Structure 1
């Protein structure tokens, strides 16, 4: 497979309704794309690991991944008229389920990952006086997202 530009990876958000067990349909109008004025999206996933050595080997510790919390950190410039930016900015002073969204990631190869997520570290309008308003947050899946391979 050829190299792909990161901009080809798509991040979409949809509102979470308390108690909602499934995400909106992939083609639903509820989804808004998080892309405008975003110039970088980091992968801040967190892996919890455990190391143990066993007598059936030579005692060298083996690493076992116990959990993975997938997280993305979009950064760029804030646009209060952009629906995705506004959705996140409106969560700034909320707690609990007020910080929940559905997050959909469409990989460059067409595979799609969807899951409920929590938004933290919200910055929607900050920075030096001579610069544009900053925008950033962390979007962390609450559990492993559901993968749908490219059809």
Structure 2
């Protein structure tokens, strides 16, 4: 079984304009000075038992909200980080972006509109470098595409 490094997984962003239904062609890679990206996906479930079983509850997943939490050092000259930083004092649709995730093996991608929260673009101890972090949560299940091998 092959193993892939996390650094091979790609995270890309684009600004979102209210009313858009598809992202454009220009993607900004969120990678420069990013040392970790956590998976903060949340699931809602229901447990129910049925008479046609033995009474043991079955779990049904009722919703999935895919999310990622990048962390690293803040570089205001990096276009992807600056896009995130520009959203800090916005609300509602002002916090929306397009988010694209490409699997580490390059075989699949997931694209969808997302909301950015918990933005930190410059914080930390006086003797430390400025930190960067946020939460990027898809607003619905992203569109999955199998990419051509190449």
Structure-1 residue corresponding to 2:123: 126
Structure-2 residue corresponding to 1:82: 78
Q: CA deviation at 1:108?
A: 1.2
The correspondence for 1:143, drawn from 133, 140, 143, is 140
> In angstroms, what is the RMSD of aligned CA positions?
0.7
What's the secondary structure of 1:109's corresponding residue? coil
For normalisation by structure 1, the TM-score amounts to 0.96
Q: CA deviation at 1:109?
A: 2.2
The correspondence for 2:90, drawn from 91, 94, 107, is 94
State how far apart, in whole Å, the 1-side matches of 2:140 and 2:105 are. Answer: 22
1:21-80 superposed Cα distances (whole Å, 9 cap, x missing partner): 1122xxx2x210000000000000000000000000011000000000000000000000
> Which residues of structure 1 form unaligned runs of 5+?
none
Q: CA deviation at 1:150?
A: 2.3
> Which residues of structure 2 form unaligned runs of 5+?
none
State how far apart, in whole Å, the 2-side matches of 1:52 and 1:109 are. Answer: 37
Structure-2 residue corresponding to 1:5: 5
- Decide whether the 8 Å contact of 1:13 with 1:103 is kept in 2: yes
